[in-house]
Structure 1
Amino acid sequence: MITMEAVIEVPAVTDGSPWPVAAMAPGSWLMLNAGCAGDQVGLFVTALAGRIEVQPPDGRDEVVNALLADEFLIAAGDLQVRDPTTGTVMTPGCCAGLEDWRDWAQVLIGDSPWLGHDPGPEVEFVSDDLRVRQDGGETRHRGRWAGVHVDLPQSALPGLLIGVQRDLVGFLDALTGWATRIGLQRPGPL
């Protein structure tokens, strides 16, 4: 059965982090769901913090306060589509953001969401299926991703998106538990 998961791209953690983070290879994908361990949640928060301006030697409370004060949080990622039968995994393209995951609902009205570039993933309609291509657009049929795709029934997409939403809500619970366990202070008035 085809699966769809919310993922973020793992950043390079070079300057350390004010909390424990999972040891994952930069450029790999961290799935977000209720089962995320504390160090995985820490890695997610570190990825978010990498895009805001916090002056060293600010501590963890200052980092979190800056995140909470930011109007629009951005995390490199999106939805990953996996076909366990073939082992094919379709990952977000460069510059795609998890904050745009809801754009996949555009497929339900016949449009393809923007899934990033390089290698240029895209969704196309093939009969009653959706073909999610890793290498679409101008680069199709060239390069290492040529022809790599996952086909899923259009009728399965609403259930998959509901599952992603459920995973993200579960991840928020994991994030709340993590923040409590590491003793983060509540932010002052914003």
Structure 2
Amino acid sequence: MLIMDAVLETYEARGCALWPVSDPADERLLRLSGDLSPRQVGTAMAVLAGYNNRPRERGGRRTEDGLAQLNRLLTAECVVAPGGLRVTDTDTGVTAEPGCCFGLENWRDWQGLLDGEEPWLGHDCEPRVEHVGAIIRLWPDADRQERRPIEIPRVELPGLLGSVQDDLSGFLKSVEGWASCRFTPVTAALVATLDEGLTVSAPLGDSP
């Protein structure tokens, strides 16, 4: 069975004191969905707010006010979300994690595989895809091809991407519940910004 998840790197949440976050875990990736606990949503929002609120001037310091950080996120030119899509083959036990610098905001680039494209999926590790007839072969790391690839039948890709979209839609609902308890005035704007920045609600097949 193939599973495709939207995941977020959690490094940016370390030391966050703006709101409650989940305890540090060995797993550096947080799966986004509607099943997150409030603390896990807090972790995701600490990553998104912190990553998009870096000091603009050398020596500048990030504000420690939670509402101010969220307002920065709302006015960011674009939403950058460290992470991407993780694919697991439960039959073989092989998992391909997103490479560095790909960004979850680019998750729809995977749609290009349906047209025979080979999108860049990040580096270190460096996942790579190749087309073999009706199969999309996903190598977890192009530099270590002794690892087994994951074989994705092309006909299954739309369903897998649809499951990702469902999970991201659930995540937006979780964010709405989380923000309404802490930052009520910006709740609607926050959900709308993440919806647009992560291109969640637009029908699959539409260009971001």
TM-score, reference length from structure 1? 0.87
Q: Which 4+ stretches in 1 moved above 6 angstroms?
A: none
The alignment covers a number of residue pairs equal to: 181
The range that moved more, 108-117 or 119-128, is 119-128
Matches within 5 A, 1:108-119: 108-119=114-125
Match for residue 17 of structure 2?
Answer: 17
How big is the shift at 1:86? 1.6
Gaps of 5+ in 2: 56-60, 190-208
How big is the shift at 1:96? 1.3
Cα-to-partner distance string for 1:36-60 (whole Å, 9 max, x where unaligned): 1111111111111222136555321
In structure 2, the residue corresponding to 1:175 is in which secondary structure?
A: helix
The range that moved more, 44-53 or 158-167, is 44-53
Match for residue 53 of structure 1?
Answer: 54
Cα-to-partner distance string for 1:41-81 (whole Å, 9 max, x where unaligned): 11111111222136555321111111111121111111100
Q: Any conservation in 1 of the 2:50–2:69 contact (CA below 8 Å)?
A: no
Alpha-carbon distance in structure 1 between the residues aligned to 2:7 and 2:103: 9
Q: Any conservation in 2 of the 1:10–1:26 contact (CA below 8 Å)?
A: no
> Is 1:93 aligned to residue 94 of structure 2?
no
Match for residue 43 of structure 2?
Answer: 43
In structure 2, the residue corresponding to 1:186 is in which secondary structure?
A: helix
Cα-to-partner distance string for 1:98-149 (whole Å, 9 max, x where unaligned): 000000000000001211011210111122211111112xx244xxxx3232
Q: Any conservation in 2 of the 1:41–1:175 contact (CA below 8 Å)?
A: yes
Task: Indicate the RMSD between aligned Cα atoms, in angstroms.
Answer: 1.9
Alpha-carbon distance in structure 1 between the residues aligned to 2:63 and 2:170: 32
Match for residue 5 of structure 1?
Answer: 5
Alpha-carbon distance in structure 2 between the residues aligned to 1:49 and 1:27: 20
Aligned identity (percent) is 39
TM-score, reference length from structure 2? 0.80
